[in-house]
Structure 1
Amino acid sequence: MADKALKTFKQRIRQLTRRSGGRNLSEIAERLRAYMPGWKAYFQLAQTPKVFRELDEWIRHRLRAVQLKHWRRGTTMYRELKAMGASDEDARKVAANSRGWWRNSRMRLNRAMPIAYFDRLGVPRLS
């Protein structure tokens, strides 16, 4: 797959998933449902499952960062993560570093917001 096509795709996803957009995750998922299936259909003949898998991971990472940004404060993060079923340790660690949205949305948040969570929201997959 061409680098230019990947760069264009990522730029479009960045526009749709801006952290300052003021939309909740279900609205963002709706916008992604309008864009991603067409892109996937165009590139479906490409024999690059690893690229699609990495793009899926990157999109979910962005969505987790959006959710953390929406929660803003550490106390809200802790309360919401506990309500989602996160362990006490994970919720505390994420809430303690409440301003590092991108770094926080990596490992510990994967347990509270797994792939199935995004499937329930209706976020389309590429792989």
Structure 2
Amino acid sequence: MADKPLKAFKRRVRQLTRRSGGRSMAEVAERLRVYVLGWKAYFRLAQTPRLFKELEEWMRHRVRAIQLKHWKRGKTTYKALLAKGAKPEVARQIAVNSRRWWRNSGMLLNSVLTLRWMDALRIPRLA
């Protein structure tokens, strides 16, 4: 796949998943869902499963970062993670660094905000 459509995909996903947008997770997920389904349908014949997997992982990383930003404070993050079934130690480690959205969304948070959580938001998978 050429660089131009990949850059356009990433640019558009960045626009849809800005952390300062003031939108709910449901709104972000719905807008992202519409775009990703269209993009996936257009490139469905491309035989690049590794590339689709990498794009999907990057997109999920961005969505988790938005969720952390929505929780704002460490105490809120801790309570929300416990409610989602996280172990207290994992929730504490994430909540302590609650202002480091990108870093946290790529590490321990993967064990709490899983693919099942993404599926519940109805964000489609590329791979």
TM-score, scaled relative to structure 2: 0.97
Q: How far did 1:26 drift? A: 1.2
Find the aligned partners of 2:99 and 2:86 in 1 and give their Cα distance. 19
Q: Which segments of structure 1 move beyond 6 Å, counting only runs of 4 or more?
A: none
Percent identity, aligned pairs only, is 63
Alignment pair present for 1:21 and 2:29: no
Alignment pair present for 1:106 and 2:106: yes
Alignment pair present for 1:77 and 2:82: no
User: RMSD between aligned alpha carbons?
Assistant: 0.8
TM-score, scaled relative to structure 1: 0.97
Q: Which residue pairs with 2:65 in the alignment?
A: 65
Q: After superposition, give the CA deviation of every residue in 1:94-124 in whole Å (9 maximum; x if it has no partner).
A: 1111111000011211111100111011001
Q: How far did 1:38 drift? A: 1.1
Q: Which residue pairs with 1:31 in the alignment?
A: 31
Q: How far did 1:49 drift? A: 0.3
Find the aligned partners of 2:55 and 2:89 in 1 and give their Cα distance. 29
Write the letter of the residue equivalent to 1:26. A
Q: How far did 1:8 drift? A: 0.6
Secondary structure at the counterpart of residue 108 of structure 2: helix
Write the letter of the residue equivalent to 2:72. R
Aligned residues: 127
Q: After superposition, give the CA deviation of every residue in 1:26-60 in whole Å (9 maximum; x if it has no partner).
A: 11111012111111111111110011111111111
Write the letter of the residue equivalent to 1:126. L
Write the letter of the residue equivalent to 1:102. W
Write the letter of the residue equivalent to 2:74. G
Q: Which residue pairs with 1:120 in the alignment?
A: 120
Write the letter of the residue equivalent to 1:16. L
Uncovered stretches (5+) of structure 2, i.e. residues with no partner: none
